[in-house]
Structure 1
Amino acid sequence: MLTITTLKEILAEPKTIVITTHYKPDGDALGSSLAMLLWLKARGHQVQLIVPSDYPSFLHWMPHQEEALIYTDHQAQADQLIKQADLIFCLDFNGLGRTHDMQGILRESQAIKVMLDHHLVPEDFDDFRLWDTDAAATALLVYDFIVNLMDDRASITPEIASCIYTGIMTDTGSFRFQSTTAAVHLTVADLILLGAKNAEIHDLVYNSSSENRLRFLGFCLLNRLQVLPQFNTAYFAITKEDLLRFNITTGDTEGLVNYALSISGIRLAALIIDRTNQIKLSLRSTGTFPVNEVCATYFNGGGHRNAAGGHDDLPLAQVVDKFKSILPSYQEQLTL
């Protein structure tokens, strides 16, 4: 592993750098990546952000997001840029598999790989690691990297502050999750001092739904919500026909699982979606119930204790049955 001193020396001279993040980037992934893009560019580096896929429309307002190269649309160009890179910054993911189609070219690359992440059990692919599972968001680690490790708080512009703020806000559920510590609030206060317009950012992210999305949410709450009171569990099972009916696009299902978790007494919530080629699961929990363990054990996934995801190749109905079948083994934890 490189030391921070060595990394500082490497970054003291202009380099060709690629920044990337996980498939279907969320607010933390894109916010962290854009903040790092702007900071590295200001230091004289040649930098390209490559994202493995598209991302939600409610993030299209973010500073310089139009510079992101979407891998699925520009694979040949992206592969060439990765081959030419001196360094690759890997943000908000701990295993190359989370980049989906990009993982092969990333593994082949001889570039120095810098990982900033807060997920459990990182894969050993990186040369420098800023990793903290207690961090509420990777964006917090980007702030720490710039301000503390690089001693460069003065370089944080309002645009960079806005990107970091967005990452923290979205990954803490607007600062309501248990991960939102006093230290998080102090960092957020500093970002506001540095120019992040908190109310405006919240409005851009959370008050930009399409009519289709709102009607889809209503449909799901009325027709797809199932409650299993004996297990303090609730779930949505969404068919591919549901997605087509409401013309659902990337990001439109964001936050739906939290409606199930908001029911009084519910400790475990699941969103199970038929994405045609695979069934995707998003699990949320309260207290100490480990949804990351459930996803890792049964659904080829992982994540955090209270927020995790996975996937399955079985048909939707069978995945739902599988999910329900594992609940008895967790009944004691779910009904404490």
Structure 2
Amino acid sequence: MLTITTLKQILAEPKSIVITTHYKPDGDALGSSLAMLLWLKAHGHQARLIVPSDYPSFLAWMPHQEEAIIYTENKALADKLIAASDLIFCLDFNGLARTHDMQPILSTSQATKVMIDHHLDPEGFDQFRHWNPESAATAYLVYDFIVNLLDDRSSITPEIATCLYTGIMTDTGSFRFQSTTVEVHLAIADLISLGAKNAEIHERVYNSSSENRLKFLGFCLLNRLVVLHEYNTAYFAITKEDLTRFNIVTGDTEGLVNYALSISGIKLAALIIDRTYQIKLSLRSVGTFPANEICAKYFNGGGHRNAAGGHDDHPLERVVEKFKAVLPAYKEQLMDN
């Protein structure tokens, strides 16, 4: 592993750098990546951001997001940039498989890889790691990387502050999750002082739903919500026909699982979606219940204790039954008050 001293020396001279993140970037992934892009470009590096796929429309206002190269839409250019890069910043993911189609070229790249992330059990593809699984968000770690490791707070512009604020805000559920520590609030206050307009950011992220998305939400609450009181568990099972009916696009299912978790007494919530090519699962939990353990053991995934994801290749109905069949093994934990 490289030391921060060595990395500083590497970054002291202009380099060709690629920044990337996980498939279907969320607010933390895109916010972290854009902040890193802007910081690197300000320091004279030839930096480019490559995202593995599209991202939610409610993030399309973010500073310089139009510079992101979407891998699925421009593979040839992206591959050329990766092949020519001196460094690759890998943000908000701990395993190359999370980049989907980008995995092969990232795996074979000889560029120095810098990982900044807060997910459990890093794969080990990196040469420098700024990692803390207890951190509220990767955007917080990028803030810490710039301010503390690089001692360069003065380089945080209002645009960088906006990107970092967005990442932290979205990954902490607007600062309500347990991971929102005193240090996080202090960082957020600092980002506001550096130019992040907090009210405007909240408005753009949370008050930008399409009519289709709101109708889809109402449909799911009325027709797809199942509550298993005997396990303090609730879930949504969304068919591909549901997605087609409401013309669902990337980001429209964001936050849906939290409605199931918001029911009084519920300890575990799941969103199970038929994406045609695969069944995707998003699990949320409260307290000490290990949502990540269920995803890792049964659904080819993982994540944080209270927020995890996975996937399965079987039909939706079978995956739902599999999820329900897992619950008896956790009944004591789920029913523990």
Q: Aligned-pair distance for 1:189? A: 0.2
User: What amino acid maps onto 2:259 in structure 1?
Assistant: Y
Partner of 2:176: 176
Measure the CA separation in 2 of the matches of 1:321 and 1:152: 52
The 5-angstrom pairing of residues 260-299 of structure 1 reads 260-299=260-299
User: What amino acid maps onto 2:280 in structure 1?
Assistant: K
Measure the CA separation in 2 of the matches of 1:163 and 1:36: 9
User: What amino acid maps onto 2:216 in structure 1?
Assistant: F
Q: Does 1:146 align with 2:146?
A: yes
Partner of 1:3: 3
The 5-angstrom pairing of residues 154-233 of structure 1 reads 154-233=154-233
Partner of 2:14: 14
Q: Aligned-pair distance for 1:242? A: 0.1
Q: Percent identity?
A: 81
Measure the CA separation in 1 of the matches of 2:315 and 2:22: 25
- Once superposed, what is the RMSD of the aligned Cα atoms? 0.3
- TM-score (norm: length of structure 2): 1.00
Q: Does 1:93 align with 2:111?
A: no
User: What amino acid maps onto 1:134 in structure 2?
Assistant: E
Partner of 1:236: 236
Q: Aligned-pair distance for 1:43? A: 0.1
Cα deviations across residues 164-187 of structure 1 (Å, max 9, x unaligned)? 000000000000001011111000
Partner of 1:61: 61
Q: Aligned-pair distance for 1:211? A: 0.2
- TM-score (norm: length of structure 1): 1.00
Measure the CA separation in 1 of the matches of 2:48 and 2:108: 18
Cα deviations across residues 185-228 of structure 1 (Å, max 9, x unaligned)? 00000000000000000000000000000000000000000000
Measure the CA separation in 2 of the matches of 1:292 and 1:327: 14
Partner of 2:115: 115
Measure the CA separation in 1 of the matches of 2:292 and 2:331: 17
Count of matched residue pairs: 336
Q: Aligned-pair distance for 1:162? A: 0.3
Partner of 2:48: 48
Measure the CA separation in 2 of the matches of 1:77 and 1:139: 27
Measure the CA separation in 1 of the matches of 2:182 and 2:140: 13
Measure the CA separation in 2 of the matches of 1:241 and 1:180: 37
Q: Secondary structure at the match of 2:50?
A: strand
Measure the CA separation in 1 of the matches of 2:183 and 2:77: 41
Unaligned stretches of 5+ residues in structure 2? none
Structure 1 runs, 4 residues or longer, greater than 4 Å off: none
Cα deviations across residues 121-158 of structure 1 (Å, max 9, x unaligned)? 00010000000001000000000110011110000000
Q: Aligned-pair distance for 1:38? A: 0.2
Q: Aligned-pair distance for 1:328? A: 0.4
Q: Secondary structure at the match of 1:90?
A: strand
